[in-house]
Each structure stands twice: as structure tokens, then as C-alpha cells.
Amino acid sequence: MLARGFADPVHDAQAAFRALLEATARPGTVVSLPQPDTPPPLPPAAAAIALALCDGDTPVWLDGRLASPPVRAWLRFHAASPIVADPGAATFAFACGVAAPFDALATGTDEAPERSATLVLLVEAFGTGCALRLSGPGIAGETVLRVAGLPNGFVSWRACNFALYPRGVDVILVSGTEAAALPRTTAVREG
Amino acid sequence: MSATPYNFAYLDEQTKREIRRALLKALAIPGHQVPFASREMPLARGWGTGGMQVTAAVIGRDDVLKVIDQGADDTTNAVSIRQFFTRVAGVRTTTRTEEATIIQTRHRIPETPLRPGQIMVYQVPQPEPLWRLEPSRAETRRLHALAEYGIMHVKLYEDIARHGRITLAYDYPVLVHGRYVMAPSPIPAFDNPKLHRSPAIHLFGAGREKRLYAVPPHTDVVSLAFEDHPFRPWKADAACMLCGATDSYLDEILIDDRGTRRFICSDTDWCERRRAKGKAA
């Protein structure tokens, strides 16, 4: 049977959005999202993002390991999002660590930089692992975000993405029921 | 919440999702105008429908809402919008700045310093800072894309050449995060410094013009000026006739039919609280 989604679609979507608004406004802040009923292997935070933000207007790209038939059916039913094979056509891309299609994602145009993809990237855990030093809008001075399970090449890809400003991909890292945002304005250094 | 035929906070979920996606992109590109669909609201465009749509997309059951119009909690526009959200969202409202989690505003930033966790929502009549200088939207989009703001600097220079100073007193253009020139909405230039590295989130909604934009916390917001003509926010050189404040933004009012003028604080909450603490003119 199809997993249910949010228990309270209106208020859970609002709570998820407010957490994501806070996360985007303060990059590096780890926020908790409401937990929807989710088909595996989609983690609850990624599912909450899909339910809160995706609909028929937002093509979605799914990593091969996430694109199980139950996930595709769940996403189609609850969000009515078209699931696309080309990551360049996606408004939201959901990717697991390795082999995320970083360079294929839409970065917007000079006149419409908002028409870029949002990459929802699954990681293992927050608060442990690789230390990312973050600075930019939303951060007073500098902050450190510790993330375990970032794919190889993520920091160097982020540096290229940062240099495209105002174009660029916005990233939301997710693990379990938690999320942290790295919008394109955030400078990311390792160490 | 009263029995109402509307969805929570009036807008349907699809509309809220579209606004929410636009707001997240707006925060990721500070000062850049993001188009949105802008629905009909149960009041005419030009009365704060952009701010109301932003508030409706953001607000939740636990929020405490404050609405001000030119600094006042008790004017028609502020009272109507506050009543609207009481009816369609059942949220708690307040006039106290520090109690509010969302402050919808027309043309002022409160005098009480904002804190983390607060969201300012601005009602914006004209989101395009270059509109008086370049009427074509296709052209202004290109100018923003190229960060080509020469015409704005020429306008400010011509002000100085003609009048000896920059004559803009409100909606004074700012440069956000060193990239986009932005209209801060018709707040007095006096309020511009409050946007610079503010701890709060600032969201701007222009309903008629169908644009949203945002300034995240701790973001550089610099009023445009020249080295030899630095930015000088203007304020009446007077004290509030009610609370005696000399450091708040003042409104000039006529108090009789012989043309006698006095000044009072534009921020009614600030003024009332000062008087409650025993401050008087």
C-alpha cells in the first residue's frame, strides 16, 4: 500500500517550509523537519522537502538508488511531480552521496538566476565527520558544519558553483529527519 | 480557529508552495527580484497584497503577528490585515515588537531592535529600484544581470549637482551583498541602516508587480553614496511631543487649524512603551 505522506498536510508542510526557510537564511544550521510516512529508501527529511515544495510545476530527478518503484509511485501520487531522466531538466534533484550529477544541474541564467536546481543531497550524519567552514550571507563571521558522508569532490564542485554567482545550484543536505542548507552564496572551506 | 470556508491562512496549498519556492530562491540570491504568480486577494492590489501573500505562505499556528502601517499598529491598513489573519489563520497578534515572530510592515522598520527568529514582511509598491530611470523591464532585468548600475549613480550625482545633496528621503536604494541594487520599499532612509547585518530575516512582496525578494540575516546592505557625499539618513530635528524621544523617526502633524505643527514618533509601540516607562516630553 502507498505510504501516507504528511499526517497533517497543511500544517506539516508549513512547519517543513519554515524549517527550510530558517536553514536557508542561516546556512549551516541543522534543522528538524516533520516526519512524513515515507517509502524506503527515501529518508524522512528528503520526503518532507518533496511534500513541502514539489508539485506538478517542479520536475524531479531521482538518483538511481532512490528511484525505487514505491518511491516513484509515492512521489507521483503525493506531489504529482514529473520524474525526469535528465538531471539538467530538474527543479529538484534528490541524490545519494556518490555520483551526484553535480555538473549536469541547471544553474539558472544571468537574468533569471532563480531558475536553477535545488540539490537535495543525502549524507550519513551531521555533527560528525568532515568539518566545513562556512561564511557568507546569513552567517555572522564564520560557522562550522560537520557532515559525515559527503561525496568526493563535493567541496571543489561547491567552489566552482560559488564562483558562478548569482547563478548556481542551492544545496540542502539531509540525514534522517534533519537538514542543513548551503545556498549558492555560502563560501565553503574544508578544515 | 473559527469555522471558515477558507484553507488555513487563506491561500490554497499550491499557491503557498509556489511562493515558498520563490522565497527560498530569493534568500539564496539576496536582493534579486524573483517573479511569482501573485493571486487575487480580498482587497485591491496596492493595499499590501504582496506582503499578505508572503505572510500567508510563511505563517503557522504558533506565530505571533504584528502589522504596522507607517509605524502605527492602529491605522486602517494595519488593523484590517491583522483582523484578516486572525480570521483566516487564527493566529495570536500583538503590537509589541519583541513579542512578534512575524512583522508585516508598510514603510517602516520598528525602532525596537529586531532579534533572531523574527521575520519582517514588507509591502512593496515598486520592487524595481531603476524604474524611474529605465521604464523597460526587459532592460532593467539586463542591467541587473550585468550589475550595470551606472544610471543610478548618475541620478544620485545629478541630485548633488542640482541640490547640493542626495534628495531621496525614502525608498533609498541599497546594494545587497555587494551585488544587487535593491529597493528597500518606501521605508525612510533613516531605517536603511537597520537592514545592514540585521539578525532577522527580511522578506519583500510586491503583489501588483508580482515580484518577491529577500535579505537574509547578517547580510551587507549598503545605502548608495559617494566618498565625498556619504549617506546621511534624514530625520526631523525635533523631539516627540508625547514621549520626548529625539532618536526615533518622527511624523510631522498639524494640531490645529492655524497651522501649528508638532512631531510625534512614527512607531506607536515604541512611543507608548516609553510613556509607560514614565518618559514624557
Written in H, E and C, the secondary structure of chain B is: CCCCCCECCECCHHHHHHHHHHHHHHHHCCCCCEECCCCCECECCCCCHHHHHHHHHHCCCCCEEEEEECCECCCHHHHHHHHHHHHHHCCEECCCHHHCCEEEEECCCCCCCCCCCCEEEEECCCCCCCCCCCCCHHHHHHHHHCCCCHHHHHHHHHHHHHHCCCCCCECCCEEECCCEEECCCCCEHHHHHHHCCCCCEEEEEECCCCEEEEECCCCCEEECCECCECCCCCCCCCCCCCCCCCCCCEEEEECCCCCCEEEEECCHHHHHHHHHCCCCC
Q: Is residue A43 very low, low, confident or very high in pLDDT (cuts 50, 70, 90)? A: very high
Tell me the pairing of strands B64-69 and B92-93: parallel
Find residue B257's DSSP bridge partners: none
Asked if B17 and A53 come within 8 Å (Cβ–Cβ), the reply is: yes
Percentage of chain A exceeding pLDDT 70: 99
Condensed to tens digits (0 to 9), the pLDDT of residues B155-192 reads 999 999 999 999 999 999 999 999 999 999 999 999 99
> Hey, how many other C-beta atoms are within 10 angstroms of the C-beta on B222?
16
Per annotation, catalytic residue among B60, B207, B271, B278: B271
Q: Does A166 touch chain B (CB under 8 A)?
A: yes
Amino acid at B68: I
Three-class DSSP category at A64: coil
* A/B interface, count of CB pairs below 8 Å: 104
Among the listed residues B245, B78, B108, B273, the one whose alpha carbon sits nearest the alpha carbon of residue B190: B108
Rg of chain B taking only CA atoms, in angstroms: 19
Least confident among A66-75, A95-104, B137-146, B212-221: A95-104
Q: Is pLDDT at B2 greater than 60 in this prediction?
A: no
Q: Is pLDDT at A97 greater than 80 in this prediction?
A: no
Q: Does A1 touch chain B (CB under 8 A)?
A: no
pLDDT at A1: 79
Q: Which residues of A touch B217 (CB under 8 A)?
A: 25-26, 137-138, 140
Per annotation, catalytic residue among B51, B205, B240, B278: B240
B-proximal residues of A, 18-77, CB under 8 Å:
18, 20-22, 24-26, 52-55, 57-58
pLDDT at A71: 95
Q: Dihedrals φ, ψ of A43, to 5°? A: -70, 155
Q: Does A135 touch chain B (CB under 8 A)?
A: no
Query: Which candidate from A14, A21, A114 shows the least CB-CB separation from B34?
Result: A114
**Overall size of chain B counted in residues:** 281
Q: Is pLDDT at B75 greater than 90 in this prediction?
A: yes
Q: Is A47 within 8 Å of A120 (Cβ atoms)?
A: no
Alpha-helical segments (H) within chain A: 9-25, 44-53, 69-79, 154-163
pLDDT at B54: 98
Q: How many CA atoms lie within 13 A of B78 on its CB side?
A: 23
Is B265 designated active site? Answer: yes
Condensed to tens digits (0 to 9), the pLDDT of residues A149-162 reads 999 899 999 999 99
Cell of A65: 538508488
Is B51 designated active site? Answer: no
Is B117 designated active site? Answer: no
Q: Is pLDDT at A99 greater than 70 in this prediction?
A: no
Asked if B27 and A24 come within 8 Å (Cβ–Cβ), the reply is: yes
pLDDT at A12: 98
Query: Which candidate from A13, A21, A116 shows the least CB-CB separation from B23?
Result: A21
Predicted TM-score of the model (pTM) = 0.97
Find residue B203's DSSP bridge partners: B121, B214
Three-class DSSP category at A156: helix
Is B90 designated active site? Answer: no
Chain B: residue whose CA lies nearest to A17 = B20
Asked if A140 and B218 come within 8 Å (Cβ–Cβ), the reply is: yes
Three-class DSSP category at A82: coil
CA distance B49 to B29: 23
Amino acid at A156: S
CA distance B273 to B280: 11
Asked if A166 and B59 come within 8 Å (Cβ–Cβ), the reply is: no
Q: Average pLDDT for residues B139-146, to the nearest whole number?
A: 98
Q: B142-145: long-range contacts at Cβ-Cβ below 8 A with a sequence spacing of 24 or more?
A: B142/A111, B144/A111, B144/B32, B144/B33, B144/B180, B144/B181, B145/A109, B145/A110, B145/A111
Which residue ranges form the domains of chain A, and what is each CATH number? 9-182 (3.40.50.11310)
Question: What is the Cα A87 distance to its own chain's centre?
Answer: 14
pLDDT at A101: 85
- Between A90 and B278, the higher pLDDT residue: A90
Q: Is pLDDT at B5 greater than 80 in this prediction?
A: no
Asked if A13 and B177 come within 8 Å (Cβ–Cβ), the reply is: no
B interface with A, Cβ–Cβ < 8 A, is 7-8, 13-14, 16-18, 20-30, 32, 34, 57-61, 119, 141-142, 144-146, 177, 179-180, 197, 201, 216-220
Q: Say which residue the cell 546569513 belongs to.
A: A138
Q: Which residues of B touch A165 (CB under 8 A)?
A: 179
CA distance B166 to A58: 45
pLDDT at B4: 58
Contacts of B209 (CB under 8 A, 6+ apart): B50, B124, B125, B126, B127, B128
Is B240 designated active site? Answer: yes
Rg of chain A taking only CA atoms, in angstroms: 16
CA distances from B201 to A25, B47, B195, B219 (A): 7, 22, 9, 10
Question: How far apart are the CA of A110 and the nearest CA of chain B, in angstroms?
Answer: 5
pLDDT at A98: 67
Least confident among A19-23, A73-77, B123-127, B233-237: B233-237
The alpha carbon dihedral of B55, B36, B21, A168 has a sign of negative
Cis peptide bond N-terminal to B193, omega within 30 = no
